């Protein structure tokens, strides 16, 4: 059983919603709580609640986290697209407790048991480490979507900087250099796992309320992007909780390049004897898509 906390910027891209759905619908995963980060954390929290409501899951609490990057004067990129997923503002209960307090308490009271799965900028995780450095020893693992190293053998074009790290490079630097055991699912691998309108149609056809909401979001997102595919960045990180062999990794350190005046955020892989990051290199695309769709469609 994998006990996890999902830390999400849901609403920025459609993939966070699919990552949440995969976690909810994988019997190997126990979702201990969901925390939101970056930009409008309240709308993000309500999005999570809405999807859990559609999945008939009322057992998982949602906590709002930090809105701005560690350096408060940084621009917040790509916030405000949350409405793409939330058509109306429904009243759902969000916990009063702060996401960072929840993360610290859950890890400290369950040493070696909890895996953090950050699928947005790393601000909540960095602040949790600052407030309680012992979580680095007590967390089971951090499986995160973020960064890009270009170590793998890929014929795809990759941007020099990945969004989650770019949004808060100081937070990313703090997390990567904390010594915590990390699995980094970066753009090198996530750009290879894509869904198209074929998967969207299968979700619609299933008739399941959560799947229909996902299909609607995918449809809007594909139209917004003007493409017939979208990458499953965040679900790939979640899938490793179920089947680690989907992604091949290499253990190295990650140095995050930043200049406090500019949002850089390049992630540079560095060889080291005591490396703490398993960096994703190659991915079994077919096995991943099969796992994702089997889990989502299994409800029907
Ligand atoms: C990451 O950025 C977000 O938009 C996606 O949800 C994913 O977490 C990909 O760079
Ligand atoms: Ca995300």
pLDDT of residue 183: 98
Q: What Cα–Cα distance (Å) separates residue 124 from each residue in 54, 236, 293?
A: 27, 21, 30
Of 54, 43, 66, which is closest to residue 20 (Cα–Cα)?
A: 54
CA-to-CA dists, residue 49 to 37, 43, 107, 123, 189, angstroms: 15, 10, 23, 21, 29
User: Given CA atoms 231, 204, 287, 116 in this order, what sign does their dihedral have?
Assistant: positive
For ligand 1, atom 4, the nearest C-alpha belongs to 13
Q: 58, 81, 89, 233: which is the annotated catalytic residue?
A: 233
Ligand 1 close to Cβ of residue 188 (< 6 A): no
**Three-state DSSP class for 110?**
coil
Question: What's the number of CA atoms in the CB half-sphere (13 Å) around residue 197?
Answer: 8
pTM of the model: 0.95
For residue 128, count CB atoms less than 10 angstroms from its CB and return exposed for 0-12, middle for 13-18, buried for 19 or more.
buried
| Burial class of residue 153 (count of CB atoms within 10 Å of its CB; 0-12, 13-18, 19+) | exposed
Nearest one of 170, 117, 174, 177 to 145, comparing CA atoms: 117
Q: Is 262 designated active site?
A: no
What's the pLDDT at 234?
A: 98
pLDDT at 81: 57
- 83 C-alpha to center of ligand 1: Å? 16
Which ligand neighbours the alpha carbon of 12 most closely? 1
Confidence (pLDDT) at 49: 92
82 lines ligand 1 (CB under 6 A): no
Closest residue by CA, ligand 1 atom 3:
13
Q: Do strands 247-259 and 262-270 pair parallel, antiparallel, or not at all (unpaired)?
A: antiparallel
Which ipTM score applies to this complex? 0.99
Ligand 1 atom closest to 119 (CA): 8
Residue 166 Cβ < 6 Å to ligand 1: no
The CATH architecture of the domain made up of 2-297 is: Alpha-Beta Complex (3.90)
70 neighbors 123 (Cβ within 8 angstroms):
yes
**Splitting the chain (300 residues) into consecutive groups of 10 residues, what average pLDDT does each group show?**
97 93 98 96 91 93 96 71 59 89 98 98 98 98 95 76 94 98 96 96 96 93 92 98 97 91 85 94 96 89
Q: d(Cα 68, Cα 291) in Å, to the nearest integer?
A: 34
Ligand 1: residue whose CA is nearest its atom 5: 13
């Amino acid at each position: 059983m994998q006990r996890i906390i999902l830390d999400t910027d849901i609403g920025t891209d459609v993939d966070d919603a699919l990552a949440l759905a995969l976690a909810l619908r994988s019997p190997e995963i126990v979702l201990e709580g969901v925390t939101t980060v970056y930009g409008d954390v309240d709308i993000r929290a309500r999005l999570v609640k809405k999807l859990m409501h559609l999945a008939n899951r009322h057992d998982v609490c949602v906590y709002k986290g930090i809105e701005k990057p560690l350096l408060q004067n940084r621009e917040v990129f790509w916030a405000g697209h949350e409405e793409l997923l939330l058509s109306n503002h429904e009243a759902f209960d969000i916990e009063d407790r702060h996401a960072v307090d929840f993360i610290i308490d859950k890890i400290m009271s369950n040493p070696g048991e909890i895996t953090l799965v950050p699928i947005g900028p790393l601000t909540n995780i960095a602040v949790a480490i600052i407030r309680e450095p012992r979580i680095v020893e007590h967390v089971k693992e951090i499986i995160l979507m973020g960064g890009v190293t270009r170590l793998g053998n890929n014929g795809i074009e990759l941007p020099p900087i990945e969004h989650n790290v770019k949004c808060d490079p100081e937070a990313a630097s703090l997390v990567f250099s904390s010594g915590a055991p990390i699995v980094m699912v970066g753009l090198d691998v996530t750009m290879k796992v894509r869904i198209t309108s074929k998967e969207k149609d299968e979700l619609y056809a299933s008739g399941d309320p959560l799947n229909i909401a996902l299909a609607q979001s995918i449809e809007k997102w594909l139209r917004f992007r003007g493409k017939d595919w979208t990458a499953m960045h965040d679900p790939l990180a979640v899938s490793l909780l179920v089947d680690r062999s989907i992604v091949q990794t290499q253990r190295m350190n990650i140095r995050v390049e930043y200049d406090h005046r500019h949002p850089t955020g390049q992630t540079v892989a560095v060889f080291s004897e005591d490396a703490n990051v398993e960096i994703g290199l190659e991915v079994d695309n077919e096995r991943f898509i099969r796992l994702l769709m089997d889990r989502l469609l299994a409800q029907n």
